[in-house]
Amino acid sequence: MKDSPMNAHIASTSPGQSSADTIAAIQSLLSEGKRRQEIAEILGIPPRTLTRIRAQMKSGTTPTPAVEPSAPAPKSPKPTKIKIATPQPTSDDIRERIATDELTVPFSNWLGDGWYREAGQPQDIYETDENGEQQLVGVKVDPGVLWPDEWNGPKTVEDIWISPNVPAPKRSLKRGFITTSAQSLTPAHGPFVINLHALAAARGLEFSDIGGFTYGKSVFAKRRKKDLLEVAPWSAMIVDKVCRDRRHLHSTVQACFEMNMRPTKQNPLVGLTDYVRGKTSIFAHPKRAVESVPRPRSYDPVMMWTTGCCTVPNYVTQEAGLKSLQEHQIGALIIEIDMDDNVFIRTIDADRETGNLHDLEPLGFRMLSAISEAIGLRVNLQVAA
């Protein structure tokens, strides 16, 4: 029994229909139980063509029936990130934290052990926020000055008074200098700096340059991501005299303050013979050292000197630091040039705990001592017996 014209219309193929559609129609009629002759008549194709198509279907070489691609699923919108504003610390909160942090800064190995620290007013550090307003973000503090607990002498240069009994500077002196060194981020040795100013005034010397050097303690320190407390490089007591450049004090003498030497270096002057280029040279270092430089016999003597230091010890308590702590010399150099252009250099070594110092004068061994109580500023002249 033949299919009705309606069924024939549904399963038939049009001339422009693709092979994939023909295969789909054949599969549909086969599922309905139609025989080969009936399928050929309904689809209007020769029986031999139908046989070939069915053979291809069985071998799997026929193309897959076309399938309408499904529309892509709509993308879900990305979740919106909500920023929760963290409350900004107030100026009072920042200052309270800074006051606490300042107590933990390792300014010196001596601090608290018979010594106390004085410092100037800290400097506020501001940044402009997104609203264009100035916000306090930190404070820069002065390393300050260390004083012995029992110190009752002057604390500023303005308080220095030289006794009229102190002899006037030598008339044979053409020019003279006092120089020393200082470690960054470290308090000055208060009594010693005061005594150096007094000595310079009494001797008619220039106390002009202090060689600066750094020490990498930050390698051993624990730091926050953003510290509120910043320490100024140099103490306000000496900052105007710190020098990091070479100074030519005489045609044959130079202060090589551009050389940043590690304060823990075992032998400060080792390896510097070629660096000085035949000139007597001075290096900023807290360890006392003097060395003669080889030269032809006809040449004037060439020496290398270290300065000593006017800042208190400030070392990491590990092997190199502990050794350097014992050899830290509070001291300076005096460079004098006479009228005949001869240069004389000598060391001044001070008492580590008090800053008291002695300087000998060639004629009569007249001794300038910065430890006397006779003249109010601890400056006195005594004649050695």
**DSSP string across 206-237:** EEEEEEEE---GGGGS---SS-SEEE-SS-TT
Beta-bridged to residue 347, according to DSSP, are: 333
- pLDDT of residue 1 exceeding 60: no
CA angle 143, 146, 147 (to 5 degrees): 155
CA atoms within 13 A on the CB side of 289: 22
pLDDT for 375 = 36
pLDDT for 177 = 97
pLDDT for 101 = 62
pLDDT for 284 = 98
Mean pLDDT of 85-107: 67
121 class by beta-carbon count within 10 Å (0-12 exposed, 13-18 middle, 19+ buried): exposed
Would you kindly state where each structural domain of the chain is located, as residue ranges?
Answer: 5-59, 91-141, 152-383
- pLDDT of residue 95 exceeding 80: no
Mean pLDDT of 230-258: 95
- pLDDT of residue 380 exceeding 70: no
- Both tokens of residue 324? 């350097």
Query: 170 or 14, which is more confident?
Result: 170
**Do 193 and 238 contact (CB within 8 A), yes or no?**
yes
- pLDDT of residue 302 exceeding 70: yes
The CA distance from 279 to 252, in Å, is: 5
- Residue 226 has phi, psi (to 5 degrees) of -140, 105
Mean pLDDT of 346-367: 71
pLDDT for 85 = 56
pLDDT digits (tens, 9 = 90+) for 15-74: 545 567 777 787 788 778 787 778 888 877 787 777 787 777 776 655 555 455 556 666
Of 352, 343, 350, 385, the C-alpha closest to 369 is 350
Measured CA distances, 146 to 24, 111, 173, 235, 237 (Å): 100, 8, 34, 10, 11
- pLDDT of residue 354 exceeding 90: no
**Helices and strands (H and E) in the chain: how many:** 7, 19
Q: What is the mean pLDDT of the chain?
A: 80
pLDDT for 218 = 57
pLDDT for 342 = 93
Highest mean pLDDT among 27-36, 122-131, 146-155, 280-289: 280-289
pLDDT digits (tens, 9 = 90+) for 316-340: 989 999 999 999 999 999 999 999 9
Within 10 angstroms of residue 94's Cβ, the number of other Cβ atoms is: 20
**Do 177 and 146 contact (CB within 8 A), yes or no?**
no
Highest mean pLDDT among 21-30, 103-112, 261-270, 364-373: 261-270
- Specify the pairing of strand 123-128 against strand 115-118: unpaired
DSSP-based helix, strand, coil % in the chain, nearest 5 = 25, 25, 50
